[in-house]
Amino acid sequence: MSEGINLLDPNKNRATIVPIRRIESMRLIVAVLLFFVSVTSVILFILVAISPLSELQQQEQSLRLRLSQSKSDIAKLAFVNERTTTIDGVIKKRLSLDETIALIQSKLAGNATITAMRADKDTVTLTVQSQSLQSLNDFLNGLSTLVQEKKGFSQVTMSDLTGDESNKDYSVTISLVLL
């Protein structure tokens, strides 16, 4: 009969022991996490106190001030760079007539001078003036020789010949087709 009178359940004591163990392990985990957070906070506080953040902010402000003062210089430099790029493009596209002019000048004879010159992509038009028809003749013959040798020109065409006998001044206008 003593068994039936016992009001305490023997299995009940075991059920309360398991949650107590869980609570103790949770308390240990919480204590470890609290310690970890505390140590991390102290380390971060020390790093912030030691860091050169204020110096970096002052350096940033001084650099911004210097940059704002040199805005006009930067704009001028950008303008010059843009112009330089444009000039390089023009120079690359430009028709180089140095050799052509040198060939023409090498054939100038006597007192013949070039008074006008116009150049296109394919042709050069010249007006040559001289006090002697012989000089103009020698010049034209020299250009004809260059055309035959295929040096610089593929064709020479005389478009105008004028003369002023009172001043003994003659001029010839010719068109040269470039190779």
pLDDT tens digits, one per residue of 86-119: 999 988 887 778 888 888 888 887 788 899 999 8
Residue 83 has pLDDT above 80, yes or no: yes
As a residue count, the chain comes to: 179
The proportion of the chain whose per-residue pLDDT surpasses 90, expressed as a percent, equals: 26
Residue 16 has pLDDT above 70, yes or no: no
pLDDT reported for residue 166? 83
Whether the Cβ atoms of residue 131 and residue 169 lie closer than 8 Å to each other = yes
Range 15-39 average pLDDT = 87
More confident residue, 63 or 94: 63
Cα separation, 42 vs 83, in Å, equals 58
Q: Give CATH superfamily name and number for 98-178.
A: H-NOX domain (3.90.1520.10)
CA 11 vs CA 5, 14, 23: distances in Å: 16, 5, 20
Contacts of 92 (CB under 8 A, 6+ apart): none
Residue type, 47: L
Q: pTM higher than 0.75 for the full model? A: no
Cα separation, 121 vs 105, in Å, equals 20
Q: Which pLDDT band holds residue 79 (cuts at 50, 70, 90)? A: very high
pLDDT reported for residue 11? 58
pLDDT reported for residue 110? 77
Q: Residue 128, Cβ neighbours under 10 Å: how many?
A: 24
Cα separation, 151 vs 11, in Å, equals 120
Residue type, 166: S
Range 134-148 average pLDDT = 88
Cα separation, 37 vs 159, in Å, equals 99
pLDDT reported for residue 86? 93
Cα separation, 100 vs 123, in Å, equals 11
